[in-house]
Homo-oligomer: A and B are copies of this chain.
Amino acid sequence: MEQARQAATFDSTLLTHMHYLNREENASSRRAAFARVETALGITDTMQLPHLHTGLDRRELYLEGLRRGRAIVTDMLQHNHTHFVNLTERSQLTNATPFGLNFLMFRRTINLQGTAEQKRYWLPLIDRMEINGCYAQTELGHGSHVRGIETTATFDSAAGEFVLNSPTVTATKFWPGGLGLSCSHAVVAARLVTRGVDHGVHWFVVQIRDNSDSTPIKGVTLGDLGLKMAYNGTCNGYAHFNLLRVPGSSLLAAHTQVLPDGAYVRNDAGAQENLAKQSYATMLEVRRVVIHWAAFGLAQPLTVATRYAVVREQGALMFSQPTVPELAILEYKTQHQRLLTLISQAYAILFASMELDDCFEEHQQEKREGKIGRLSFIHAVSAGLKAWATQAVAAGAEEARKMCGGHGYLVISGLPEMVATACAAATFEGENYVMWQQTLRYLFKQIGALQAGRMLDSDMTESLSGYQQWLQVEGDKSSPSHLLLDSNHLSEPEKLLKIFQHHFHRLLSAAHSFYAQQTRTSSPAEAWNASLPRLLPAAHSYIEYLVLHSMQRRVAVIGKAQPSLLPVLSRLTELFALTTITNPGPSFTSISFAEDRILTADHFPQMRARIDELLVALLPDIIALTDAWDFTDASLCSALGCRDGNLYERLMSWTKQLPVNQQDLAREAWTIEGGIGEFLRGDITSGTKSRL
């Protein structure tokens, strides 16, 4: 392992600093926070079986989550930092703990939807953690589609109260993190009804448990959803409201209010629109957090799989002598291909996430100056990037797990939980198939602007430059051939970006023509539906273009600050581009680059040859590239993936420490009624003739 670590062409700590806003002090302060929390939790001894892996039941998993959540929140409060607002000490999203949504969504909703007075009242309580809140939007029968929400909040002007009610089984609030057992308060999405009129969904701050003793408030039934694939350290829950009365001040009233006489009033001209935009803003912020997490969600299992590949010996090459010793699995070419391709994707997500954050910062700055023009671009991009990144992390985490063979199937390898955690993100905070459509809808609007001769959004001028000529062609039928590729230039960043842009333009044009064709005989909604299988790949190809663009830009910036990092990151970027072109993407949302007319059958072998060269050049850096993510051993919680590479002793030691091996479970299994003993004594089969 040390040998593999020494082989690097660059200093991995320099790259680590780049991950934390290019600042060494951020990286150090984060490390110090990790050290304090891990020490407080008593999880720094890597030869000790982590409590998390002792085979816990539902109750124990939750209590362990509580213990960890408390440790990170306490550290944040005592040391005055924000390292764990978005990611926990295990680099999971903080909604993996019972306290995670208090800051991530509960606070944000009140901050965006509350009046100045409401904020003055609630925010300090939240910041001091004197209340713990959750975000209650989805219902048993209704997901992220807000219009479907059934919960009602009916204004009773006589009492000056709202009456919260779940009129049906499907109206039961279902899924909110922390709702089941841990929260005193919730922001609740409910249809505001006053004077008999339904004004649509609004937000209400509601106390759901007695602060002092956890008893649910009368009128609320609460419960936990039981075990999930992962995130069992928190209590995703359900809540049924039975005519619960809450004060009139519960309505978050920044944009709309209900007067004492029951009149419904919009505070500002575009109140409804602002409400929607502000809701967008909450979702957008959480989506940015999810995208950022995705980079680490993929990086974690890759760190484990890479370290495992260095130490694990397995099999021999076909045609090698029977006497040769087994080969480290990192020696296999397919392992280089799989590991380094996925490592390039993890870096691509990280860099794209940083670029998006910068863009968002600029937007915030511009907003303070009174402009709001970039929000729809950022919304469209964050939706698509969320879908693309979470798809990549789910598939890549599972691929990394498979690369650890049978041992990767053990819970103590840490990989099953990483994979299960990764898989959730494709669904939550916007189901990916919905996300893609939002990106595409924005792109269609931009095409509409082009067709009408209007200005494109400023963020789109570069990516749609040259698209004019696609307005003339009929879908797939023919394609502009402005891009003549010769094989000498396939490695140039500009050329690679052009290939991605052409792919995106072609698929966007094909999707748009198809849709336009459908609208001749169908309603826009039906046409949209019929076109979906073409629309998604167009959105997918745009995001791939954007990711490559972001990665190239970011690497250039880093390379200027730290020239020693430029060679390895440039190789990684080229590898990302070439493998994206040559390796088929996920089945249902992408279409092969090989269908593009500009790439001939000759280009592909050339690209594969170049990939081979890049893999050879990157291989010495493979451990450094994973070390640079700077995961602590305790955060990986993996018998296979510790930094020291001491795989087998740790695996055997953790296995022997398992509670199942302290009990005499075998004796129980043999001696209980109906147990193995009865079988072996022949009590069951006596007198039975078997033909098995």
Contact = CB atoms under 8 A, between A and B. Distances in A.
A3 interface: no
B62 A665 contact: yes
A660 B59 contact: yes
Copies of this chain in its oligomeric complex: 2
Interface in A633-674: 648-649, 651-652, 655-656, 658-661, 663-672, 674
A428 B402 CA distance: 11
Given A314-B143, A648-B141, A229 B525 contact: no
A402 B332 CA distance: 32
Interface string A117-135: 0000000000111111000
Q: Which of A423, A602, A682 has the most CB of B within 10 A?
A: A423
Contact of A411 (B59, B98, B228, B661): B228
Contacts of A667: 213-215
Contacts of A671: 213-214
Interface stretch (A461-469, A541-549, A564-572, A588-596): A588-596
B147 A588 contact: no
B665 A59 contact: yes
Given A62-B669, A182-B676, A588-B338, A526 B317 contact: yes
A247 B112 CA distance: 78
Nearest to A597: B601
Contact of A214 (B338, B434, B528, B666): B666
A218 interface: no
A224 B129 contact: no
A121 B515 CA distance: 72
B684 A129 contact: yes
B594 A587 contact: no
A296 B212 CA distance: 51
Interface string A177-206: 000111010000000000000000000000
A530 interface: yes
A665 B224 contact: yes
A375 interface: no
Interface string A425-449: 0111001111001000100000000
Nearest to A604: B595
B670 A214 contact: yes
Size category of the A interface is 35 or more
Given A406-B175, A584-B590, A53 B226 contact: yes
A473 interface: no
Contacts of A128: 682, 685, 688, 690
A128 B679 CA distance: 9
Contacts of A668: 59, 63
Contacts of A601: 476, 479, 595-597
A319 B526 CA distance: 9
A690 B588 contact: no
A145 B524 contact: no
A8 interface: no
B669 A98 contact: yes
Interface in A576-629: 579, 582-588, 590-592, 594-597, 601-602, 604-605, 608, 611-612
A35 to B, nearest CB: 20
A273 interface: no
A630 interface: no
B214 A677 contact: yes
A56 interface: yes
A147 B316 contact: yes
B431 A669 contact: no
Contacts of A130: 679-682, 685
Contacts of A510: 605
Contact of A605 (B103, B147, B476): B476
Interface string A91-108: 000000011000100000
A322 interface: yes
A226 B660 contact: yes
Contacts of A595: 592, 594, 601, 604
Nearest to A678: B70
A99 B334 CA distance: 36
B214 A685 contact: no
A147 B325 CA distance: 9
A405 interface: yes
Contact of A584 (B129, B228, B584, B675): B584
Interface string A393-409: 01100110110011011
A528 B226 contact: no
Given A62-B669, A583-B588, 8 more contacts: A132-B679, A143-B406, A180-B660, A223-B656, A334-B536, A402-B423, A408-B427, A592-B595
18 contacts: A55-B58, A59-B668, A77-B688, A77-B692, A98-B669, A128-B688, A129-B680, A129-B684, A224-B661, A225-B658, A317-B526, A319-B523, A398-B398, A399-B588, A409-B423, A416-B420, A510-B605, A530-B612
